[in-house]
Chain A
Amino acid sequence: MAPRPQKKLFSRRKSCRFCGDKELTINYKDVKTLRNFVSERGKIIPRRIVGTCATHQRQLCEAIKQARQIAFLPYSGSSQG
């Protein structure tokens, strides 16, 4: 097995969007921004993929769960059903 040279080539440094943009706040009522951190199936996208920092991912996670409770976001599946 050859070593994987592609991995280094394609890796790009991800940065936390909430740290970069101070005006962007995490709120469970702000569905538009939360949609960016949820997969098509309605799952929360993991930190290693979206690149948010630990603090913001924790806040985001809570906000998404609250939004789900009040039917802003789906628990599973797309918003259509």
Chain B
Amino acid sequence: MRRYETIVILRPNSGEEEINKVIETTTKIITDDKGSVIELNKWGMKKLAYLIKKETLGYYAYFDFASTPAAVSEIERKFRIDDVVLKYMTIKLAAAITEEGVTEAIAAVSAREASAAAEIEAAETDDKTEVKTDGKTEVKAEVKTEVKAEVKAEVKAEVKDEVKAEGTAVVSKETTTEAKKEA
């Protein structure tokens, strides 16, 4: 068994059914040949760096699998026949992979996906809880900080004035203290 990864670019105007059909046939070829799919990922629509068969967009699908060279040649033969496939590329990642290695790789992929999903969920839940519980207090805090900022700005302006007109310094100091009390 060898480990390969394949990227297929499919026609952007092809329907969901056709895309799924291509993916199913490739996975079937892999599993029929006693190989196993490690990762299957639909990257979706992407802009192509150059035109392929007069298309500017492409639907990307990514396979990471363990299989034999015969299966790869069969997959590529099918891709060449299929009109939906714009372009494909297969890369050999490892010359030999054991069954243990396959299970390990699958576990690694699932762990990575789980962690990514957990991160997204955590971010979402954090946002929600913050909005729900601290909604009122947050608003208050914001108002307070705004007021403080305004006061500070005023104070600064007054201080500048002080330097210019020393005579009014006492008055301005009094006003600043008042402003602080208000805050």
Contact = CB atoms under 8 A, between A and B. Distances in A.
Interface of A: 28, 66, 68-75, 77, 79, 81
Is chain A's interface secondary structure helix, strand, loop, or mixed overall?
loop
B89 A66 contact: yes
A30 to B, nearest CB: 13
A34 B52 CA distance: 21
B47 interface: yes
Contacts of B49: 68, 71-75, 79
Nearest to B55: A71
Contacts of A73: 49
Contacts of B50: 71, 74-75, 77, 81
A63 B153 CA distance: 54
Q: A28, A68, A70, A79 — which one has the most chain B CB atoms within 10 A of its CB?
A: A70
B91 A71 contact: no
B1 interface: no
Interface in B46-68: 47-52, 58
A69 B89 contact: yes
Interface residues of B, number: 12
A53 to B, nearest CB: 24
Contacts of A28: 91
Nearest to A67: B49
Nearest to A79: B49
27 contacts: A28-B91, A66-B89, A68-B49, A69-B87, A69-B89, A70-B7, A70-B9, A70-B87, A70-B89, A71-B9, A71-B48, A71-B49, A71-B50, A71-B52, A71-B58, A71-B87, A72-B49, A73-B49, A74-B49, A74-B50, A75-B49, A75-B50, A77-B50, A79-B47, A79-B49, A81-B50, A81-B51
Q: A69, A71, A72, A81 — which one has the most chain B CB atoms within 10 A of its CB?
A: A71
A68 B89 CA distance: 11
Contacts of A72: 49
Given A69-B87, A70-B89, A71-B87, 14 more contacts: A28-B91, A66-B89, A66-B91, A68-B49, A69-B89, A70-B9, A70-B87, A71-B52, A72-B49, A73-B49, A75-B50, A77-B50, A79-B47, A81-B50
B10 to A, nearest CB: 12
Contacts of A71: 9, 48-50, 52, 58, 87
A71 B57 CA distance: 10
Contacts of B9: 70-71
